[in-house]
Amino acid sequence: MPAPTFTSSSASLGPLRTLLVDNYDSYTLNLLQLLVQQLPAGSSVLDNIIVIRNDQYSWTTVRDFILPHIDSVVISPGPGSPDRKDDFGMCDDLIRYAHMAGLPALGVCLGHQGIAAAFGGNVQQCAVPVHGQTSRVQLVATEQETVTGEPGLFDGVPNLFKVVRYHSLAVSDIPNEQLLVLARAAGTVKALDPATNQIIDVESREIMALRHRTQPLFGVQFHPESICSEYGARILQNFGAISRHHRNGVIRAKPTLPADVLSLSLLAQDNRMWQRHSFNGDDGTSVYQKVGGMMRLVCEAVDLSEYTGDDDIGGDLFGYLYGNDPAPIWLDSASTGGGMSVMASAQTTGSLTVRYSVGERRVKVVRLTSANSSVLVGDDALSGDETFWTWMQAIVDQTRISESSTEPPQCSFQCGWVGYFGYEMSQADNASDCEDRLPDAQLTFVDRCVVVDHKSKPPRAFVMALVADNYQSSQSWMSELGFHCPNDASAWISRQISSIRLWLTLPRPKPKSVSKAAVSSAVTMEPDISRDDYVAAIARAKQWIAQGESYEICLTTQFRHSGATVRSAREMLALYKCMRRHNPAPYGALLWLGDIGAGVASCSPERFLCTFQKDTRERWVEMKPIKGTCRRLPRPDARLCSPSDLEKWERDDEQRARQLQQDAKERAENLMIVDLIRHDLNSIAHNANVQVPQLMAIESYASVHQMVTTVRAQLRSSVGDVAALAHCFPPGSMTGAPKLRTVRLLKELEAANGKGGRRGVYSGCLGFFSAHGQADWSVVIRTAVVDQGGSRVSVGAGGALTILSDPSAEWAEVETKLQSVLPGIRQYCDDRQKGVFID
Ligand SMILES: C=C(O[C@@H]1C=C(C(=O)O)C=C[C@H]1O)C(=O)O
Ligand SMILES: NC(=O)CC[C@H](N)C(=O)O
């Protein structure tokens, strides 16, 4: 085995060249973020750090082609066990090589366990698996005692510092002649007492860090890269100092990583793949010129201050303008969320809808022609490594606004693509039998719309349209998009403004108060996975967690009702109106596509991802994962109860919210997803600039309190809106962590009942790519999906499982989530039976 020669050299060797090995998706890029923080100012990630998967290249390629250029190795956490090649890939060879060559290596969690195993240490299931909990670390030896002159891994780190742990396995004993324990856990962690189903505190003394006695090989069982670990950056910095200390004696061919080695990095490969299919230049600048003219936005604002109705200005205006539209689109974020309502139709002359089903590798483009028919205008085959995501990015890039004829409106939607990506879009094939008729992804080009800006005072509406004069595109069907004559666009805007002005003057009847108790329908929804089977699946999931296969698993099922027929856009709107009345939510949405008799009515509280321009140069992305749910007590009717009853309700309700925020299990669930999302965002972040401005805040909705974290990142200039979404898809809050392994396990768990286990639109995302280059997408939860030609309504619900989960409490949580939409569906069924829809 070739090993580098050791001689002394005082030459300046430049920044450390680091190899980061990814054991599949387990927070790896958060380690990258810590490594990047140590690079000298001005040096780029892509030039100094290479990230490869543990099985991406053969061991001989890694050894002979990559390692001769590397100063320092970091081996990531991961699912599974270090003694299985499927889990650890070439990492065992790598550790042995590092030992022989004196190459500094740091193993984190699975990597740490692998170092112990390589020297004959014992790795086994620990008594108490710990996931997403903080624990104290006691430093038990100083490295200086063993290797003179070498900086210490814990230099500057105080004893009993706090770290986050995600593990079920632990190093139980080590060969003392080779390895040395540096740290152990101290204090207690939470565990579920199986006898009582109560969460109890138990002592934890597992080995938390070790090193090789003579070579610079280190392992940490905890996760220095977690957002809630203390001194993570310091530990990585110390490891950097150790690596530099050892590098001083080694002569390398060149101080920088050669281009052909850098090109092997996962990040470089991903960049190239997107660039190959994009319409952007290598430096991220637009090269739209090559396809001719772009879209031009025409927009006019209408003052709505004269509105005299109740405070549902969005609902009122939508009903008036689009209540009879055959293909309505309504993004209803009036309350919170984006603070705007987008109102449009999928059936205009400049609108087309693209549809994609996984496995087909063809994109169908249709024009809706009547209330229940459409014609195919494009059928595009994906080629090579092209995916629907890269295809869509290229289309979005070609339908951008290049100029506005008028002052651009202050709102995040300015026409563009609206639709959803279903959960199965993350999978290469979709083997499960597709019994619904909904495509896996569907996006409609909105060429004209009305946007109500609820945040402005007084409220305003923007009426806008896209003009595509002098427009050339790569696909013939694209020439149908938008208005082709500016006068037609202006005429449409004028007509729409006249309608709105007329609507403002209409006499408004007093809003009918609809008591929630009025719902009498006995509509029940049957779950695909019964309560008993769900509880059995939880037991199976917990076994996997105990074996180290996953840290958190978001198990879900679908509830179905086949009587709630929805046959038209009008009925779909009625269903959505019932749902929003009972459960108004920040990301309300309505889509109806009559040609396939399918629609989506969403009351989602969760933002998946939005992008925005911070200033002229910086684009940012924000995600707001929800983890942690508790039912609210029903609010007493103020007219029927005493003020003291109301005060008591307020106190109790607040108390529940506080309990949620302090609950160790819920916090752990939230933290695991936050760390996962930071990892996702690190794949698209500019210089690993990922931030968590708000951790575990409580947001309260009609029926539930939720715990929400905000994660933001500055986007690399070459990353488009579709690419950003694709890199973070499916939403981590709907999978659990680590994402890839857990998605695989979920497929097995959710398909176990023979019903295919397809999640469909549920668990995916719904939102828009605006033509001016912003995006906003919600997670599809608390949503009714109408399929099978309008004859079935499905609602998915689920929740995150951890080792601390109590099965009956988990099922209760599923029912709580279902309850946020069921009353609305019942109301709809009632109303439909009576033949009256209340507006
Ligand atoms: C799975 C659902 O919700 C997800 C799971 C949550 C949780 O485990 O607390 C909260 C919000 C969602 O991310 C659902 O609503 O069906
Ligand atoms: N986070 C990790 O790397 C986990 C390692 C191993 N799968 C365990 O559960 O112990």
pLDDT tens figures, 454-503: 888 888 999 999 999 777 777 889 999 999 999 999 999 999 999 999 99
Among residues 505, 536, 552, which one ends one of the domains?
A: 505
Reported pTM = 0.94
Same domain (yes/no): 257, 364: no
pLDDT tens across 412-438, in order?
999 999 999 999 999 876 655 556 679
Structural domain includes residue 791: no
Is the pLDDT score of 286 beyond 60?
no
Say how many residues make up the chain. Answer: 839
CA 699–ligand 1 middle distance (angstroms): 14
Atom of ligand 2 nearest to the CA of 113: 5
| Relative orientation angle of helices 28-36 and 664-682, to the nearest 10 degrees | 60
Residue identifier of the C-alpha nearest atom 2 of ligand 1: 798
Q: How many CB atoms lie within 10 A of CB 47?
A: 15
Is the pLDDT score of 364 beyond 90?
yes
Cα(425)–Cα(759) distance, integer angstroms? 10
Which residues are annotated as catalytic? 109, 223, 225
Is the pLDDT score of 670 beyond 90?
yes
CA 130–ligand 1 middle distance (angstroms): 21
Same domain (yes/no): 219, 351: no
Structural domain includes residue 833: no
pLDDT at position 248 is 67
Structural domain includes residue 129: yes
Of residues 583, 601, 584, the one with CA closest to residue 592 = 601
Helix-strand-coil split of the chain, %, nearest 5 = 30, 30, 40
Same domain (yes/no): 428, 309: yes
Of 86, 87, 169, 549, best ligand 2 pocket probe by most atoms within 8 Å of the beta carbon:
169
Ligand nearest to the CA of 762: 1
Contacts of 778 (CB under 8 A, 6+ apart): 337, 586, 587, 589, 602, 604, 606, 607, 608, 765, 766, 767
Q: Which residues line ligand 1 (CB under 6 A)?
A: 554, 556, 606, 626-629, 733-734, 779, 781-782, 796-800, 817
Of 534, 749, 814, 817, best ligand 1 pocket probe by most atoms within 8 Å of the beta carbon:
817
Residue identifier of the C-alpha nearest atom 4 of ligand 2: 167
CATH number of the domain at 157, please: 3.40.50.880
Same domain (yes/no): 268, 292: no
For residues 777 and 766, is the Cβ–Cβ distance under 8 A? yes
Contacts of 121 (CB under 8 A, 6+ apart): 115, 171, 172, 173, 174, 175, 179
CA 799–ligand 1 middle distance (angstroms): 5
Our count of domains for the chain comes to: 2
Structural domain includes residue 818: no
Structural domain includes residue 356: yes
Cα(96)–Cα(704) distance, integer angstroms? 52
Cα(640)–Cα(538) distance, integer angstroms? 42
Same domain (yes/no): 245, 311: no
Same domain (yes/no): 299, 267: no
Same domain (yes/no): 263, 293: no
Structural domain includes residue 342: yes
Same domain (yes/no): 347, 310: yes
Same domain (yes/no): 51, 24: yes
Of 167, 206, 222, 550, best ligand 2 pocket probe by most atoms within 8 Å of the beta carbon:
167
Structural domain includes residue 148: yes
pLDDT at position 757 is 85
Same domain (yes/no): 26, 53: yes
Cα(708)–Cα(692) distance, integer angstroms? 11
Q: Where are the alpha helices (DSSP H) in 436-516?
A: 486-505
Cα(273)–Cα(286) distance, integer angstroms? 17
CA 544–ligand 2 middle distance (angstroms): 12
Among residues 242, 272, 302, which one ends one of the domains?
A: 272
Atom of ligand 2 nearest to the CA of 738: 1
Cα(279)–Cα(393) distance, integer angstroms? 8
- 468 SS3 class: coil
pLDDT tens across 584-602, in order?
899 999 999 999 999 999 9
Mean pLDDT of 618-630: 94
**605 Cβ inside 6 Å of ligand 2:** no
Among residues 272, 296, 326, which one ends one of the domains?
A: 272
Mean pLDDT of the chain: 90
Same domain (yes/no): 383, 443: yes
Tell me the residue range of the domain where 29 lies.
Answer: 18-272
CA 666–ligand 1 middle distance (angstroms): 12
pLDDT at position 827 is 94
Structural domain includes residue 671: no
Same domain (yes/no): 207, 294: no
| Relative orientation angle of helices 569-582 and 822-834, to the nearest 10 degrees | 130
